[in-house]
Structure 1
Amino acid sequence: MDEFQAVASQAIQVTSVASQALAVVPAAETVSKAAQAVSNLQVDIQSMPSEGVDWMGVAINFSAVIIGAIVGGIATLMQARRSFEHQQSLLKQQALNSETSLLEALKSELKAVSKQYMESIGDELDKHPESEPFNFYFPLYSSYFSIFDSNATTIGLVRNGNLRDKIITAYSAGKGLIDSYQHNNMLVQRYDDAAKRKAASPRTDNDSMYRQTQKQLANYCPMLKKVHYVVVQ
């Protein structure tokens, strides 16, 4: 009786620990079945009579279940790990490909916009005297940075922090230049209106307005060229 109690107690402890260890593996059908088998064996041991017990049979049955559960659990864990690592590798490669495509697209956009800008008015501003009004109306109607704008939420995923900062700085400077030209366009429009009024009626107030708008346009030219050089250099 004492021998039975000792063996049964040890078996119950082992099966309990094994069952708990195997139960931590989520969504693994094989391990779940093995853990249930261990639990069933635990119940069988607890209900076994103390007399006439085939201890060799119990030991063989117990060992087979435990070994099977452990082997099955390890195999399931290894398969799950391989599957997880493969999935992570695919996701990493996809992210790398997406980042490369984005950077190439941004590079092409900046190159195209810069070329268009310099050919349309940038070269003219380059050689314009800083002390004179830049009396050129530069129409701005398009969304020049469509690729950047449509991917603004993904720029933060660029892994190279220095490159990410340069991209944001370049586009911020470009948008700032657009704002500067829009302001200069407003001054040009005011200057042209004042010039027309002065030509139609050379009164003192019209002449005064003409000179004032001319001065405002001239004073803004250095600022416009400064922003321009930040972008093109």
Structure 2
Amino acid sequence: MIHGILQAIHDEIETLWDNYVDNIGHQLEALGETEPLILYWPVTQEYFTIYNSNAFFIGRIQDHDLRKLIVSTYSKARGLVDSYRLNNDLVQKHEHAYWISQETQNQIHLANAKSHYAALVSYSKTLKKSHIEVKQQVQELLRELRKKGVLNNP
């Protein structure tokens, strides 16, 4: 049973990561140091179905290091999802401030729009750092699961 759960965790992590990288991960990696991520990435659902529905069994994995790596990877991935939610909020605030500044040409509104833009630039560095940490965790977890033979039938 544990072997099947480990297989499912492998498949869930691999599938989610591949989709993420194809949809936004590459765009984030391509950003320059002073570029913001000015786009929405819809993160409206719970993505970690296998992990959430098998928490009890994950606690029964005998290999302490593997169990800890699984929990750590999912925790960091959840943090990355939350970071995108915050980036979406920042994008929305920036867009609102930008359009008001364009309509009014008021210096206060122009300064406000620039301030929101600077916040996005700053936050994109945080987002990129989190992305790299999760990428490393995912690669390590998939490697460990494969070393444990999860791609083979028991």
Shorter-chain-normalised TM-score: which range?
0.7 to 0.9
1:153 CA drift (Å): 2.2
Gapped runs of 5+ residues in structure 1?
1-97
Normalised to the residue count of structure 2, the TM-score between the two structures is: 0.85
Q: Distance in 2 between matches of 1:199 and 1:110?
A: 43
Matched, 1:113 2:16: yes
The counterpart of 1:163, out of the listed 66, 73, 83, is 66
1:148 equivalent to 2:51? Answer yes
Alignment-derived partner of residue 35 in structure 2: 132
- 1:196 paired to 2:99: yes
Q: How far is the alpha carbon of 1:160 from its aligned partner?
A: 0.6
Give the equivalent residue in structure 2 for 1:101: 4
TM-score (normalizing by structure 1): 0.57
SS across alignment from 1:212: helix
Residue deviations 1:149-207, cap 9 Å, x none? 11112211001111101101110111010011111111111001011111111112211
Match for 2:38: what amino acid?
N
Count of aligned pairs between the two proteins: 136
Once the two structures are TM-superposed, the CA of residue 134 in structure 1 deviates from its matched residue by 1.4
Alignment partners' CA distance in 2, 1:118 and 1:130: 19
1:18-70 superposed Cα distances (whole Å, 9 cap, x missing partner): xxxxxxxxxxxxxxxxxxxxxxxxxxxxxxxxxxxxxxxxxxxxxxxxxxxxx
Q: Secondary structure at the match of 1:111?
A: helix
Q: Looking at both structures, which has the greater relative contact order when contacts are Cα pairs under 8 Å and sequence separation is at least 6?
A: 2
1:137, distance to aligned residue in structure 2 (A):
1.0
| 2:116 equivalent to 1:213 | yes
Percent identity over paired residues: 32
Task: Please name the residue that 1:226 is paired with.
Answer: 129
Structure 1 residue 133: Cα displacement: 1.4
Q: Which runs of 5+ in 2 are unaligned?
A: 137-154
Spell out structure 1 runs of 4+ moving beyond 2 A.
none
Contact 1:130–1:225 (Cα < 8 Å) also in 2: no
State the Cα RMSD in Å: 0.9
Q: Are the counterparts in 2 of residues 121 and 138 from structure 1 also a CA contact under 8 Å? A: yes
* Range with bigger deviation, 128-137 or 217-226: 128-137
